[in-house]
């Protein structure tokens, strides 16, 4: 989790004001030169102000300034946005050499990955920073809500009813997909529902720009490196799709199945036979791509995903969580004060005599507890959140019950 930008950056004046109007002068300035992997240096400057605030200037803040400078609409919104836009715009211009170095490196990486110069140039021509994307990284519901509230938000009666309607409408397609990939039809519908509300909300953010914002704006080096790789992958998708632009979520996920660019390249399939793997507008392609993804991530047919359990007594907290050793259901029941709830999912759990399961208590031992199986971890390959996997599982159960 990156340090909140509001604690890193200081807003001296509104975005349209002159820097000279900032009366709180810096008392210390430190410039750090960072050697890039291609041997070109980039700088990062830290300014400490008289009032104790810190301003960090790097290529990322330069990017933010480019966005605001180039887009009047962003500038107009600056007064209502966090400090990052204003501070960056005060200090950096669109001609900054650091930003040009980032673009040069990105172009080099894209072409090294097999992208044509024409596609690379076209991608870089329109790329810009989106400050709101960084704000989104700090407000993800998985991080802010309790498990109970998160699941209530994700698995609503309306989403269950809509899922049942889509299940019935696509029953034959889902049957063929289950037969082809071994992934249950209700799980596919539920994943579709959680990811894009059954294809209704696929996102309208400019994918390359959203990824560039995350790649150059996040303080967490590992996450930033991940998004840089996905940015190059997105340019490869752009070339393969013969498109001029990609649209998707603020985090770079695309299409009805909300694949990251690397997943598009690896798992998107053409299931309607028109010669193109179109995860944006073809439901057969999107659902088949999801099934293909889950199959390749290790989905096991006929195995349960999760079941709700009750605690009959004290639990050694060392056995909690996905990193604890997985145990057969019988061992949980006999050795750890666990009993299965009397719902339908529990029947499948009781039959899983050889598969190991982990015990999850997302809201603590006083809240709901679950045994989760390897297929649960496969769902987490889609989104590395246990709450996400629980929401898919519970929506699948709801859709199954409603059809
Ligand atoms: Ca197709």
DSSP 153-203: HHS-HHHHHHHHHHHHHTHHHHHHHHHHH---HHHHHHHHHHHHTTTT---
Mean pLDDT within 301-317: 89
Cα–Cα distances (Å) from 105 to 100, 102, 109, 213, 220, in that order, read 9, 5, 6, 15, 20
DSSP label at 51?
Answer: T
Q: What is the mean pLDDT of residues 370-385?
A: 95
The whole-chain average pLDDT of the chain stands at 78
* Residue 371 bridge partners (DSSP): 307, 359
Per-chain residues with Cβ under 5 A from ion ligand 1:
270, 272, 274, 276, 278, 282, 285
Considering only residues 79 and 267, tell me which one the structure prediction assigns the higher pLDDT: 267
Residue ranges per structural domain of the chain? 306-402
Burial of 244 (0-12, 13-18, 19+ CB in 10 A): exposed
Annotation marks residue 195 as catalytic: yes
Question: What pLDDT shows up at residue 199?
Answer: 95
Is the pLDDT reported for residue 96 higher than 50?
A: yes
Q: Is the pLDDT of residue 19 over 70?
A: no
Ligand 1 geometric centre to CA of 398 (Å)? 29
**Dihedral, 338, 343, 345, 349 alpha carbons, nearest 10:** 30
**pLDDT score at 38:** 38
Asked if residue 93 has pLDDT above 50, the reply is: no
Instruction: Find the 291 Cα to ligand 1 centroid distance in Å.
Output: 15
Q: What is the pLDDT of residue 342?
A: 66
Instruction: Work out the pLDDT band at 90, boundaries 50, 70, 90.
Output: very low
| Confidence bin at 85 (pLDDT 50/70/90) | very low
Please give the share of the chain, as a percent, with pLDDT higher than 90.
Answer: 52
Q: Using pLDDT thresholds of 50, 70 and 90, give the confidence band for residue 315.
A: confident
Rounded mean pLDDT of 148-176?
Answer: 95
Q: Report how far ligand 1's centroid is from the alpha carbon of 315 (Å).
A: 50
Kindly name the residue from 85, 91, 195, 239 that is annotated as catalytic. Answer: 195
Is the distance from CB of 337 to CB of 320 less than 8 angstroms?
Answer: no
């Amino acid at each position: 989790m990156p340090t909140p930008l509001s604690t890193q950056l200081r807003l001296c004046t509104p975005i349209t004001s002159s820097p000279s109007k900032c009366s709180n002068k810096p008392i210390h300035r430190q410039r750090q030169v960072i050697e890039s992997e291609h041997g070109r240096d980039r700088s990062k400057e830290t300014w400490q102000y008289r009032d104790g605030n810190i301003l960090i200037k790097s290529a990322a803040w330069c990017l933010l300034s480019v966005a605001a400078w180039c887009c009047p609409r962003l500038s107009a919104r600056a007064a209502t946005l966090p400090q990052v836009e204003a501070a960056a715009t005060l200090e950096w211009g669109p001609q900054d050499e650091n930003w040009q170095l980032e673009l040069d490196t990105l172009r080099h990486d894209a072409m090294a990955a097999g992208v044509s110069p024409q596609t690379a140039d076209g991608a870089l021509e329109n790329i810009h920073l989106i400050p709101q994307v960084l704000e989104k990284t700090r407000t993800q519901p998985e991080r802010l809500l309790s498990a109970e509230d998160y699941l209530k938000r994700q698995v609503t009666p309306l989403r269950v009813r809509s899922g049942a309607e889509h299940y019935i409408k696509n029953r034959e397609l889902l049957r063929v997909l289950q037969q082809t990939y071994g992934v249950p039809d209700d799980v596919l519908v539920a994943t579709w529902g959680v990811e894009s509300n059954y294809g209704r909300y696929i996102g309208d953010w400019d994918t390359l720009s959203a990824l560039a914002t995350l790649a150059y704006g996040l303080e967490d080096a590992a996450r930033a490196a991940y998004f840089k790789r996905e940015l190059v992958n997105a340019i490869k998708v752009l070339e393969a799709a013969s498109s001029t632009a990609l649209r998707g979520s603020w985090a770079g996920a695309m299409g009805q199945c909300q694949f990251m660019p690397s997943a598009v390249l690896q798992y998107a399939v053409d299931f309607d036979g028109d010669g193109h793997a179109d995860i944006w507008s073809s439901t057969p392609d999107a659902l088949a791509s999801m099934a293909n993804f889950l199959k390749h991530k290790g989905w096991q047919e006929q195995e349960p995903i999760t079941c709700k359990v009750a605690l009959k007594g004290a639990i050694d907290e060392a056995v909690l969580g996905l990193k604890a050793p997985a145990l057969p259901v019988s061992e949980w029941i006999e050795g750890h004060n666990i009993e299965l709830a009397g719902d339908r999912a529990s029947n499948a759990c009781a039959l899983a005599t050889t598969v190991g399961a982990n015990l999850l208590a997302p809201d603590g031992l006083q809240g709901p507890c679950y045994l989760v199986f390897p297929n649960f971890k496969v769902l987490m390959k889609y989104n590395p959140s246990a709450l996400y996997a629980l929401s898919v599982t519970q929506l699948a159960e709801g859709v199954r019950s409603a059809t």
